[in-house]
Structure 1
Amino acid sequence: MARSRMIIGMNLPDNTAKNTAAFFVQAAIAFGVSFLSALGGIYFLPIDSWQRMFLGITVLFLVSSAFTLAKVIRDQQEASTVRVRLDEARMEKMLAEYDPYSAAA
């Protein structure tokens, strides 16, 4: 039986993906091993130090760009979900009904 949740009186299936702890650990270890392997490979290359520094900065830039791309894709997927669109519609309705000049008691 699928879990569901109530959103503005609508019973919607709970499609939020939850990662297991094992998957998180596997992803973290894979990232660490690949990052350290790349830096280790750069360190042991038979090249000058300025070339090593250039390759190291390139790897760091690649990693930060990959994290940014993953975040942008996640944010784009999250913004297209029904839950977010319903929340935005509810907020727009609240703002349209709000009257800052009404007499507050």
Structure 2
Amino acid sequence: MTPQMPHTPAWKTFTYVSFLCAAAMLGAGIAFMPADIWIKGYMAMAAVFTIGTAFTLAKTLRDEHEASRLINKIEDAATERVLREAVPGRI
């Protein structure tokens, strides 16, 4: 398994800028929407909740992926140990 390369500063900047642009456009769209204030408030709450759950989902999926990589490493090490013991001369 290859180690994961760290993200470049340019990529990190791009992700922050794109997130801020998307959030600003969403906020402007809600603010300028021709609707009553309570509808705008509902839309804003839904947007904030959606953004929060997107972060939670991304973190959960990443954690699950990292855990499966660790489990695979453990299983691979156990398989190698069994093969080393069962097949003499195997490195």
TM class by smaller structure: 0.7 to 0.9
Structure 2 Cα separation of the partners of residues 33 and 49 of structure 1: 23
Structure 2 Cα separation of the partners of residues 58 and 78 of structure 1: 30
The residue that corresponds to 2:66 in the other structure is: 78
Question: 5+ unaligned residues in a row in structure 2: which ranges?
Answer: 75-91
The residue that corresponds to 1:36 in the other structure is: 24
Q: Which structure is richer in relative contact order (CA contacts within 8 A, separation 6 or more)?
A: 1
1:16 Cα offset (Å): 1.9
Q: 2:39 pairs with 51, 71, 81, which one?
A: 51
Structure with the higher fraction of residues in strand conformation: 1
Question: Structure 1 stretches (4+) deviating beyond 3 angstroms?
Answer: 82-86
The alignment yields a C-alpha RMSD, in angstroms, of 2.0
Percent pairwise identity: 28
Paired residue type of 1:27: T
TM-score, with length taken from structure 1: 0.64
The residue that corresponds to 2:54 in the other structure is: 66
The residue that corresponds to 2:7 in the other structure is: 19
1:14 Cα offset (Å): 4.1
TM-score, with length taken from structure 2: 0.74
1:18 Cα offset (Å): 1.4
Question: 5+ unaligned residues in a row in structure 1: which ranges?
Answer: 1-12, 87-105
Structure 1 Cα separation of the partners of residues 14 and 72 of structure 2: 30
Deviations 1:32-60 (A, max 9, x none): 00011001100001110000000000000
